[in-house]
Amino acid sequence: MRTSLGIIGCLWIMTVTCGCQDTTQSTDNSAEVRQAGSAAVDTEAVGPELGPAPPGQSEPPLLETEQADAEEPPEEETSSAESGDASLSIMSWEEAQEIVRSKAGKIVVLDVWSTSCVPCRREFPYLVRLHQGHSDQVSCISFSMDYSGRASKPPESYREKVTEFLQSQGATFDNLLGNDDPDTLYEQLELASIPAVYVYDRDGKLLRRFDNENPDAEEFTYEGDVLPFVKELLAHD
């Protein structure tokens, strides 16, 4: 009897002891798992993008793309006063002459040009400067010959292209886009090619046309030819 009770007692002690060991081991393992999990979460979540660096630490270096964006200066905004509010009217050469006559009392400078003409574009800024400096005595007019005469491309289809150039130049005077057949108009004006600049007196009478018709002469320019002629007219008034 005593032997049986002794055996039972030993078995009970062993059972309790083993249970305690398993519980402790299980507790330790779960703690290790929680620690590992916590560390993984921190590693993924914590980073420089979550906020500024703590005091005493520098900000992380920019990526190449971010650095390029940071170093690139912002685009300058151009006011309408600087770029000019250019407008464009489509009309014939005869209608353009009516506008010239409506400028009675002022000297009129009419520039015949096109966006495809390199010398025209090169000289155009001088027309703008003439308007800016002498608009009280001189009326400037531009007459674009961009229209090619093709039925598939009416004059209206050139409006955007011509206006864009005029806007970039700040051409705030009268800007016209011709709708005549170009071959017919060139023949009518006895003009082989552009550029050409017409200067009219205060009564609307044509005084002079500057062109490059003479193959032996140098190409005319505003600085060397047109402006001195206009200033001479102004000096005599």
Residue 52, pLDDT score = 39
The count of domains in the chain is: 1
76: in domain:
no
| Per-residue pLDDT band at 84 (split at 50, 70, 90) | low
Q: With a cut of 60, say whether residue 218 has pLDDT above it.
A: yes
Confirm whether 138 is domain-assigned: yes
Mean pLDDT to the nearest integer, 79-107: 86
Which string of DSSP letters, residue by residue, matches the chain? -HHHHHHHHHHHHHHHHHHHHHHHHHHHHHHHHHHHHHHHHHHHH-SGGGSPPPTTSPPPPPPHHHHHHHHSPPPPP--HHHH-----EEE-HHHHHHHHHTTTTSEEEEEEE-TT-HHHHHHHHHHHHHHHHHTTTEEEEEEE------TTS-GGGGHHHHHHHHHHHT--SEEEEE-S-HHHHHHHHT--SS-EEEEE-TTS-EEEEE----TTSPPP-IIIIIHHHHHHHHHH-
pLDDT the model gives residue 236: 85
pLDDT of residue 97: 98
Tell me whether residue 18 is in a domain.
no
**pLDDT band, very low/low/confident/very high, at 80 (cuts 50, 70, 90):** very low
Mean pLDDT of 145-165: 97
Q: Is the pLDDT of residue 206 over 80?
A: yes
> What's the mean pLDDT when you consider all of the chain?
77
pLDDT digits (tens, 9 = 90+) for 7-50: 444 444 444 444 444 444 444 444 443 333 333 333 333 333 33
Residue 67 falls inside a structural domain: no
Q: In CATH, what number is assigned to the domain containing residue 155?
A: 3.40.30.10
Q: Which domain holds residue 209?
A: 84-236
